[in-house]
Structure 1
Amino acid sequence: MKRILGTCLVLGAVFLAGCSAPTPPSAPATESQAVPAPLATGLDAPWSMVYAQDSLLVSERDSGRIVEISGSGPGREVARLDDLVATGEGGLLGLAFLSPDQLFAYSTAESGNRIQRFTVQGSARNLSLSAPRTLIDGLPSASIHNGGRLAIGQDGMLYATVGDAGNPQQAQDLQQLGGKILRMAPDGSVPDDNPFENSLVYSYGHRNVQGLAWGADGTMFASEFGQNTFDELNIIEAGGNYGWPEAEGKSGGNPSYTDPIAQWSPSEASPSGIAILDGTLYLANLRGEVLRAVELDEPATEHELLDGRLGRLRDVLVDPDGALLVLTNNTDGRGQPGAGDDRILRIDPRLAGD
C-alpha cells in the first residue's frame, strides 16, 4: 500500500511542503508536517457537502444548520431545522442538489428520519431556502445506523441510504425501508423502473451505507460500515442483496448475496462519504483517519492520503476545478478536536508525488 503525505497537498495555488510521521489533529502544522490551509473552519459536527448554484453548502448534524461557505471562517447560516431531533448519530445528515434550484436534506425528527426538499433562492454567497416540503418521513431512526446519505444519480433520480437503525433483520425484509438504498423521483414518487413494484427499495441487505457515487460509465458505488469484521465498498445493482446481517464482507461464494469489491477492518476504515475523480474512488474514513484512494480499474490497488493528521474524515467532494474538498469530523463526540475544527480543506491528488 502506498502512502501519499503532506507534500502532495495543495490549497489553490499554494504549495505547503513537508513530510513526517502522522500527528494528532490538534498538533500545529510545521514545515515538516504541513497540511493545507483550511477553506472553512469552526464547523459544528458537519456531515455533508454539496455545491448549489456555485455555492458550497454544508450540513451540521447537531445544530441543524445548513451553512454557505464563503471565505475561511465558519460560513453563513442559510437555514436551520428547528424541529430536529439530534440524538446520537441522528440529526441533519445528507444534502443533495438537483439543478437548477432543488436542495434535498435528510434529517431526524420525532416521527423518524425524513427527506425534505427546499427551493434554493438568491445567488452565490447570498443564498436562501424556501420552507421545506417533506417527501417522505417515518424512515427508521435510532441513536445509531441512520444511513443518511443523499445523492442525485446520473438518471436524475434521488437516491437515499437508510440504515438498519439497530434492527439488523429489517435489512432483509423488503416490506421495510431500514437497511436499504432507496430510489425516488425528485417529487418523492416511486419510479416505474424501480426493481420492486411500487417500492422505493433499490437495493437491500445493508447495515449502514454512508457514501454514494457514480463512475463515468454509470456504475454506482456505495461505502458501508460493517459491524466488527469488515467495512465494504460495493457496486450497487438494482435489486441487489448485499447480505447483511447474514454476511459481512465477502460471503464465501453465497450466490444469494453480492460481494464487495473491497473490504477493510473497521479499525482502519469506517468509510463515510465517497467521490470519484479521474477513475479513482476516494473514501473519507472516520476511524481510519485517512483519505483512501481506490483505483476502479483495479480495486486491489489503493493509496492513502492525509494519513491521520486531520483526524476523522466525514465527507469528500470534487470541486468545480477538479480538486477534492475534504470535511473533517472531530467535533461529533468521537474525535479529538484541534484548533479550527471542524474544517474543510482542498487538496489536488493530481499533483501528488511518491
Structure 2
Amino acid sequence: MFKMHEKGKIVTLALLLALPASAYAAEPQATAPAAEQTAPAASGDSSTSTSTDKESTSSAAKSKASLTDSLKGGYTTAATKLMVPWSMQFAGDTVYITQRVGGIVQVKNGKQTLQKVQTKKPLRVVGEAGLTGFVLDPNFAKNKMAYIYHAYEEKGEGFNRIVKVKLTGNTWKEQSELLKGIPGGRIHEGGRLAIGPDGMLYSTAGETNRRELSQDLKSYGGKILRMTTAGKIPKDNPIKNSYVYAYGLRNSQGIAWTSDGKLYASDHGPSGAPIPGGGTDRTGLDEINLIKPGANYGWPEVMGKETAKGMTPPLYVASSKAIAPSGIAVTPNDTILVATLAGESLKEFDPKTKKMTDVLTGVGRVRDVAVHNGKIYVLTNNTSGGDGDPGSNDDRLLILK
C-alpha cells in the first residue's frame, strides 16, 4: 500500500492494481465560477502532485498486469474549483465536464473555460436534480454533437429529458429532444448516459424516491433506457415499443461495458429513509449488477442478497454501511473502477472474483471515473451542498499517477 498525507487526510493508493434558449442558473448553495478559469493541466497540491507525468502508459495498457498495478502513488490535478461536477467526456486531450448547477467546463491545454448550455426548457436545479449525464457523439470530431440529461419543470412537477446538443463556439445549443417525461424530483435522479458497443444510447433513470416506479413498465423511473441516437426505440429492445432495457433499479448512476460486451451498472441501495406508507429503509446494500436485456433487478420487492422468482440478483452487494456508487469505468483488464460518494473513495471491482478494493481515498466524495489513454481520471464531488466538505480548490479533476 502507498500512503501520503494531504491537508491532514490520507491518500491511499492500492498498488494492486469524460424557442427561448436558457443558460443554466446556479444552485442556491453554490456560486458559479467565472466564465473562464485557468490552471496548469498538471498542477496540484504540492504535497501530493508533480508537475509532469512522463511515464509511458501504453505498455501498461497492453500488459497482463492490471492498470492499477502501474500506479506509483499520487495524482496530478488537472482542474480546480468545479461546481458540483457530475460527468466527464474526452475529445483527444480535451476534457468536457458537466456541472450539476449548470454549464460544461472545457479543460484544454491547462485552461478551464465555462461553456454555456442553451436548452429549450430551462434547467431545474433542486437537490440532486440538474445537469447530469453527458456523452459525446461517436462522430463528435466532425459534427460537434453530444447528448445531455437534464432536469426541467412542467406545470410545477419535476422531470428529466435527454436532448442532443451541438457545440458552437463556447455554447452547447439544443438541436433536438430525444426523450422527455423521465420522472424527476429532489433525489434519486439517475442520469448517466453512455454510447454502447452497439452504437445505441443508454441512460439510467432513478425512481425519484417513488419506489413503485421501479416495477412499473409504463414508467421510465428506476430503469436503464436504450434508444438510437435519434431518440427512436430500437426494434430489438427487450420490451416491444418501449425504451425500457432493464428495470427494478433504485438509483443507478454508472454504466459501462467490458471487452466481451457485457454491460455493468452501479446502483444505490436503501438509504435509511422513511418508507412511504410507514417504516424505515435499511441502509447500505449498494450494488454492482450485470445488466441483461429485460431483466428485473428487484427493487423494492427485494434488496441486497434477497432473491425472488423472476428477479436477477446483483453480482456484488455492499455491507450495511453505504458506499453510494456513482460513475464506473472499465479498465483494459476488464476490472471495474467505481466512484463512491458516501464511501469517499475510488474502488476497483473484479467481476471474476467479485471482490471490491480501494484504489484512492482521502479526496472526499468521488462522483465519476474514466480511463483515457491509459490513465485514470477522477472527479471529486465535495461541493454538493450539505453532503460534502469542500477544500479551497474543490471540486477537482484528478489524474492518478
Residue 129 (str. 1) matches residue 181 (str. 2): no
1:79 positional shift: 2.3
Matches within 5 A, 1:277-316: 277=331, 278-300=333-355, 302-307=356-361, 309-316=362-369
- After TM superposition, give the deviation of residue 163 of structure 1 in Å: 0.5
| Residue matched to 1:23 | 9
Cα pair 1:279 1:297 within 8 Å, conserved: no
Size of the aligned set, in residue pairs, is: 321
Q: Following the alignment from structure 2 to structure 1, what is the Cα–Cα distance between the partners of residues 348 and 81?
A: 27
Supply the AA of the counterpart residue of 1:23. Answer: K
**Residue 325 (1) aligns with residue 380 (2):** no
**Equivalent position of 2:202 in the other structure:** 159
1:207 is paired with a residue of what secondary structure? coil
1:246 is displaced (CA, Å) by 0.7
1:20-54 Cα deviation digits (max 9, x unpaired):
998179xx76379x842311001000000011365
> 1:190 is matched with which residue?
233
Deviation per CA, 1:91-119: give whole Å up to 9, x if none.
00010112212300000011310001013
Name the structure 2 match of 1:270.
324
Q: Deviations over 1:94-146 (max 9, x none)?
A: 1011221230000001131000101345xxxx765343421111210000011
- The answer to whether the 8 A contact 1:29-1:35 is kept is no
Structure 1 pair 231–187 and aligned structure 2 pair: CA distance change class (3 A):
same
For 2:190, what is the secondary structure of its paired residue?
coil
In 2, Cα distance between equivalents of 1:250 and 1:339: 41
Equivalent pair of 1:24/1:311 in contact (CA under 8 Å): no
1:337 matched to 2:390: yes
Letter paired with 1:326:
V
Instruction: Answer yes or no: is the 8 Å Cα contact 2:284–2:322 preserved in 1.
Output: no
Amino acid at match of 2:246: S
Q: Take 2:320 and 2:84, find their aligned partners in 1: how far apart are those partners?
A: 21
Contact residue 211 and residue 222 of structure 1 kept, 8 A? yes
1:213 aligns with 2:256: yes
8 A Cα contact 1:165 1:178, kept in partner: yes
SS of corresponding position for 1:259: coil
Pairwise CA distance, 1:244:
0.3
After superposition, the Cα gap between the structure-2 partners of 1:31 and 1:86, relative to the gap in structure 1 and judged at 3 Å, is closer
Give CA-to-partner distance per residue, 1:308-352, whole Å, 9 cap, x none: x10000000111x2111000000011100012100000114xxxx
Query: Where does residue 67 of structure 2 map in the other structure?
Result: none
- CA 1:67–1:48: 2 relative to 1, 3 Å: same
| Residue 142 of structure 1 pairs with residue 185 of structure 2 | yes
CA distance in structure 2 between the aligned counterparts of 1:256 and 1:29, rounded to whole angstroms: 54
Letter in 2 for 1:202: Y
Greater shift, 45-54 or 127-136, is seen at 127-136
Most deviating of 79-88 and 143-152:
79-88
Q: Does the 8 A contact of 2:117 with 2:171 survive in 1?
A: no
Residue of structure 1 in register with 2:302 after alignment: 247
Unaligned runs of 5+ in 1: 7-17, 349-354
Q: 1:9 maps to what in 2? A: none
Deviation at 1:60?
0.4
Tell me the TM-score normalized by structure 1. 0.85
Residues 269 and 288, structure 1, Cα contact 8 Å, conserved in 2 = yes
What is the identity, as a one-letter code, of the residue corresponding to 1:57? Y
Deviation beyond 3 Å, 4+ runs, structure 1: 18-22, 28-32, 126-132, 265-268
Query: 1:159 corresponds to which letter in structure 2?
Result: Y
Match of 1:14 in 2: none
SS in 1 for 2:214: helix
2:216 to 168, 173, 177: 173
Distance in 1, Cα, partners of 2:93 & 2:76: 21
Please tell me whether the aligned partners of residues 145 and 166 of structure 1 are also in contact (alpha carbons under 8 angstroms): yes
- The gaps in structure 2 that reach 5 residues or longer are 12-44, 50-72, 271-282
Root-mean-square deviation (CA, aligned residues, Å) is: 2.3
Within the candidate set 54, 58, 63, 2:97 is matched to 58
- Identity over the aligned pairs, expressed in percent? 39
Structure-2-length-normalised TM-score: 0.75
More deviation, 266-275/127-136: 127-136
Q: Distance in 1 between matches of 2:93 and 2:292?
A: 31
Structure 2 Cα separation of the partners of residues 29 and 256 of structure 1: 54
**Residues 258, 35 of structure 1: alpha-carbon distance in 2 compared, 3 angstrom cutoff:** same
